Structure 1
Amino acid sequence: MIRTNELRKDFTVRVKSGRFRREKRVVEAVAGVTLSIEPGEMVGYIGPNGAGKSTTLKMLTGVLTPSGGDVEVCGLRPVPQRTKLALNIGVVFGQRSQLWWDLPLHESFALLRHIYRVPAAEHAARLRRCRDLLDLDDFLDIPVRQLSLGQRMRGELTAALLHGPRVLFLDEPTIGLDVVSKQAVRSFLAELGATGDVTLVLTTHDLADIERLCERLVVIDHGRVVHDGTIDALHTRYGSRRSLVADLADPLPDGFVLPGATLVGVEADRHRVTFALDGVTAGVAVAGLVAAVSIRDLSVVEPDIEDVVARLYASTDAP
């Protein structure tokens, strides 16, 4: 569905050189990205600010012309076949709107039907599904400018899907949303992805979106792909560890060692301990701890993907 080979994008900028002069400098925003995304995949595409995420999306959607390399989306070349490509893709940018600001939401949807020349029956069926899953009915008659951010984002998602795109590009779709709105958007996208009808590419700084929605994670830094695989593979590659946290009835004995785990924290007068599970399962670690001390409560804490990604960024050197 999406194929890139050594995709590059350079920008020429002017920087100050001396008191009155400026000189041109070439900045490499995307430095040879090679990807292959199959139909129905849900892919998280993440990176720090300035890594090249949004630039890549703009080349995939035909907004920017690549400086080099090859790119195809839905079997089309995005820039020379931009108009045809627009009928096959949907785009949601968290900071930009494709809705008409002063019109009620339902009129924006009607206009989009005519712009994309969608048959009335198909449009009605897709809108009905979005209304049900995103709870749109309460604000369909309200002008877009009066909607809350969460309501508008649900409208944006609907607008991007009414023409039946084969690929949906999402750039920060949950930025600024409250917890309830985020959950509604994530649930909708999860159900959408489960059908396999739409290929989804998601860029975000909210890694909870990635964990909830995407099996595959592509990490870009300094314009280059530094990881392409599952989230579990990312945890394994960068030494992510689960933790066992236990509240003890008695203080932890001096010199206590839990085989296969590392003691990383002791609190509350040695009554609360945290072990990192290095080479042992949670069940074995719990059994070893129970055999040594009396336990009031315990929990297994999964690794935080934000910490893993931060370590990944720290390990990549600037070119």
Structure 2
Amino acid sequence: MLVTKLESLSNEILIDLIENYINGVDIFISLINQLNNRFDDLINRCKRFYSDFTGIRKSEFSFCMKLLSNNHNMITSLTLSERDTPGQIHSFLCSFRSFEQFKQLRRLHLDFDANSVDIMDQELHSILKTSIHTLSIKGKNVRLLFEFNCIVLAMLTLTKIRRFFLSIDIQPVFCYFPSLNLIKLEYLTIEGRDCTWNNVKEILKCATNIIYVNVRIIQELSNSTELINDKQYNYKSLTKLHTLIFEFINDYSSITFDQLVYYFNIMPNLHKLEIIYTAGQYRSYFNLENVI
């Protein structure tokens, strides 16, 4: 088996590796000023990096922060995680008070504990001024962030968002979806925080290019109503939707499977359907011709 040394690769291949496949954190720690002038020159020629700070040591994180101040405009994807590294996001936000500073940032992944982040609302607001198209938020103790619900709702109105993942540990539901502009949304996953069926209907009505939906659904509040076969909306056909996962929480009784068929009929290319009832009943359908 022929073993190719890194140094033997062409400049074009090395630049492609550095820009697209090597974690920017590893570049900062192991490559910059560590090998030779050729690699330093290639790194300087790069136009973008992705940086994943998951599990990084505190000393290495501090070192990267110093280098990042001169390279943050080249970051296209950023992952910050407090998993096994409590306080990381707080330290990052002390250095960069706004994500708007990252002009090329297109993908942002946050995994945080609100107990160790006390300046989060302001920084989350700054996401609304970016060109991010992929946003992933995982959070614990989010109830401590007073404005979090409003900020998440605002994020869902971003016209550039294509992929949105939300997993948090608070139960207050989305009370409404204000003027959703989800024309470009393709992938949506909501865990932990639950939607009502009226929320889901708004998603199906507004996200006409949706490809993947995975949401948890709870009963509407007693003073509200859930209209299942609400044909007055005249939904557009969701021709791109291929995967639909509904998880109905607890003893959900407002919707029957037969009533859901109305919505399945506007999904002509649906390949995978999962209906999950946490009360104990589980169904999974892959050949929808036998269902509709």
TM-score of Structure 1 vs Structure 2, range by shorter chain = 0.3 to 0.5
Q: TM-score, normalised by structure 2?
A: 0.32
**Structure possessing the higher radius of gyration over alpha carbons:** 1
Structure that is richer in strand per residue:
1
